[in-house]
Amino acid sequence: MGYDSTLFCGTYEYYAKYRPNVPEEVVQIIIEQFDIKPVDRVLDIGCGTCQMAIAMNGKCNEMVCLDSDLEMLKQAKRELERMNLKQKIVLVNCYAEDLIKRKNEFEIFKLVTICRAFHWMDQNKVLTDLDSLISEDGGIAIISDGSFWTGEEEWQNAVKKVVQKYLGKERRAGKGTFKESPEPWENIISRSAFSVVESKEVEIVRTWTVESIIGWLFSSSFASPKYFGNKIEKFKKDINETLLLINPDGVFNEHDHFNLILASRPRK
């Protein structure tokens, strides 16, 4: 799937505030898998508002955080200015598919992370290009977690129905609709130079409120505020009423998991 520059237009503040953090357990698995040390450099592709860089704080020397959406990077910069991160952060406005054009600028990385973004990319091209950007002993970590659209909690199903009431049955994505990958990512990656592929899963439980659920929806590509026009307040009211019918206390649990695909080259 090629990246649509309109995907996250209007979501930036919601993305920074309501997207869940990457758990420490996930970071630790990656660090141990690739033996990441405080002197190493990491490239994060599709960085959003730098959730991955924040989670990796102090684990490496430098993180180059790349995103094709300039406004998203501006929001990331505002978030980072509020923090005191230990590693150097470099924000780069660039499409994943244009990485190879800037090879000399980027130099070599020990690790490349792609968190909640691999589905938007020309995956085969990006994997091919990364072969010349990652050290021989390095690799790729692709991280993903669930979506309210695919979630199985009662309240998630109810929220999805409200979204569909306003925006239609199909899952929107920028100018078009979302298309699932035709095959498992592990299969795609195993055909690349990084053919040693290992999958891991980290179970998590999150607690949401009505406010944070609406905030997460407005951070997404399928329920961006721009889609609702002058019906946005009515939509928020519908979500609020629907959720409080399920639990008047306004607190909702989500049982989810982070999927990790860890890929490296075969040992010589």
Strand partners, 197: 263
pTM exceeds 0.85 for this model: yes
> In degrees, to the nearest 5, what angle opens at C-alpha 126 toward C-alphas 120 and 130?
140
Q: What is the pLDDT of residue 3?
A: 56
Task: Please give the Cα distance from 229 to 158 (Å, whole number).
Answer: 22
Which residue in this structure is represented by tokens 């995907």?
A: 7
Q: Is the four-CA dihedral 43, 116, 202, 129 of positive or negative sign?
A: negative
Local confidence band at 174 (pLDDT 50, 70, 90 cut-offs): confident
pLDDT digits (tens, 9 = 90+) for 30-79: 999 999 999 999 999 999 999 999 999 999 999 999 999 999 999 999 99
Residues 6+ positions from 249 with CB-CB distance below 8 Å:
none
3-state secondary structure (DSSP) of residue 145: coil
- Looking at the structure, give the CATH architecture of the domain made up of residues 12-148+179-206+255-264: 3-Layer(aba) Sandwich (3.40)
> How much of the chain, in percent, has pLDDT values that exceed 70?
99
The confidence band for 1, taking pLDDT boundaries of 50, 70 and 90, is very low
pLDDT tens digits, one per residue of 115-153? 999 999 999 999 999 999 999 999 999 999 999 999 999
How far CA 32 is from CA of 22, 35, 57, 116, 138, in Å, comes to: 16, 5, 15, 21, 12
Please tell me the distance from the alpha carbon of residue 87 to that of residue 77, in angstroms, as a whole number: 14
Question: 63: Cβ–Cβ under 8 A, 6 or more apart, which residues?
Answer: 41, 42, 43, 44, 52, 53, 56, 87, 88, 89, 90
The pLDDT > 90 percentage for the chain reads 91
Range list of β-strands (E), the chain: 41-45, 62-67, 88-93, 109-115, 134-144, 172-173, 176-177, 196-209, 251-264
Query: Residues 8-26: what's their mean pLDDT?
Result: 96
For residue range 215-260, list pLDDT tens digits in order.
Answer: 999 999 999 999 999 999 999 999 999 999 999 999 999 999 999 9
